[in-house]
């Protein structure tokens, strides 16, 4: 660990390569010994969640004052400051994946509130695209219109039957579908909702 503290001192020393500074947790103060260490210290603290108090900071004296982590104990602060960039990145990726998984649970079938799975949408569109003559263009249009794409396709609430290729219809329909899905806002309409939607918008082009 690059941070170390002598028993009777109020600060921690950080020494690694050419980087050298002192950190006083109870003051929120960092004292560097040169401009290089000062710059790297700013990077080190900010990437781990600290903010610079620019009103108190004295750059010409290589002195930083920090804020934003006062709620953490001294031990937790040093533990966080000792975390590697690789570990921070891995944790960030894991947190983003967890947040996305939670958000996607909001994509549901209105009929019974069951979750719409990403792999089931992928499989459905793959099957439609590769089914040859078994799946018609009209069936593909109908499949997309059963979702609430009108909430994002305001200028064209429904997908209109046309002579476009199946791959083109799927490409055009999948764009708003995936956009709603990633926001956790995709809904598979009930039969009543679908019928009402098509009655109101089905004839509009």
Mean pLDDT of the region 154-179: 88
For all residues of the chain together, what is the average pLDDT? Answer: 90
Q: Which residue is associated with the tokens 């921070």?
A: 88
The reply to whether 53 and 15 lie within a common domain is yes
The reply to whether 55 and 126 lie within a common domain is no
The reply to whether 68 and 158 lie within a common domain is no
Mean pLDDT of the region 94-112: 95
At 29-38, the pLDDT tens digits run: 999 999 999 9
Whether residue 185 is contained in a domain is answered as: yes
The reply to whether 69 and 120 lie within a common domain is no
Q: What is the pLDDT of residue 205?
A: 44
Provide the domain count of the chain: 2
Portion of the chain with pLDDT greater than 70, in percent: 97
Q: What is the pLDDT of residue 202?
A: 65
CB atoms < 10 A from the CB of 126, how many? 11
At 52-66, the pLDDT tens digits run: 999 999 999 999 999
The reply to whether 132 and 160 lie within a common domain is yes
- Residue where one domain finishes, among candidates 83, 118, 133: 83
More confident residue, 90 or 160: 90
Mean pLDDT of the region 110-119: 96
The reply to whether 137 and 62 lie within a common domain is no
Alpha-carbon torsion angle 9, 11, 12, 17, nearest 10? -110
The reply to whether 133 and 75 lie within a common domain is no
Mean pLDDT of the region 109-135: 92
Q: What is the pLDDT of residue 133?
A: 77
Whether residue 89 is contained in a domain is answered as: no
Q: By residue range, what is the domain housing residue 184?
A: 102-201
More confident residue, 98 or 205: 98
The reply to whether 75 and 114 lie within a common domain is no
Q: Which residues of 31-50 are buried (b: 16+ CB within 10 A; e: fewer)?
A: bbeeeebbebbbebbeebeb
Given a cut of 90, is residue 8 above it in pLDDT? no
The reply to whether 193 and 113 lie within a common domain is yes
The reply to whether 18 and 107 lie within a common domain is no
- Residue where one domain finishes, among candidates 48, 83, 118: 83
At 69-96, the pLDDT tens digits run: 989 999 999 999 988 889 989 989 999 9
Whether residue 96 is contained in a domain is answered as: no
The pLDDT confidence band at residue 99, using thresholds 50, 70 and 90, is: very high
- Residue where one domain finishes, among candidates 55, 83, 111: 83
Whether residue 19 is contained in a domain is answered as: yes
Whether residue 93 is contained in a domain is answered as: no
Whether residue 28 is contained in a domain is answered as: yes
The pLDDT confidence band at residue 193, using thresholds 50, 70 and 90, is: very high
- Residue 24, token pair as written in the block: 């006083």
The pLDDT confidence band at residue 169, using thresholds 50, 70 and 90, is: very high
Residues 6+ apart with CB under 8 A from 52: 42, 45, 46, 64, 65, 66, 67
């Amino acid at each position: 660990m690059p941070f170390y503290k002598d028993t009777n001192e109020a600060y921690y020393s950080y020494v690694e390569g050419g980087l050298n500074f002192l950190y006083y947790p109870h003051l929120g103060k960092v004292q560097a010994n040169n401009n290089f260490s000062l710059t790297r210290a700013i990077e080190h603290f900010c990437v781990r969640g600290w903010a610079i108090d620019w009103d108190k900071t004295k750059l010409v004296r290589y002195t930083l004052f920090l804020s934003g982590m006062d709620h953490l104990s001294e031990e937790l602060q040093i533990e966080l400051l000792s975390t590697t960039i690789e570990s921070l990145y891995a944790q960030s990726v894991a947190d983003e994946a967890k947040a996305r998984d939670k958000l996607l649970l909001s994509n549901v079938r209105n009929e019974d509130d069951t979750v719409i799975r990403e792999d089931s949408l992928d499989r459905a569109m793959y099957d439609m695209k590769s089914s040859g003559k078994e799946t018609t263009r009209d069936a593909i249009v109908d499949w997309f219109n059963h979702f609430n794409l009108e909430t994002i396709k305001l200028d064209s609430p429904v997908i209109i039957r046309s002579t476009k290729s199946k791959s083109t219809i799927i490409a055009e329909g999948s764009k708003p579908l995936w956009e709603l899905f990633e926001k956790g806002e995709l809904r598979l309409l009930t039969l009543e909702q679908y019928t009402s939607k098509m009655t109101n918008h089905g004839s509009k082009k």
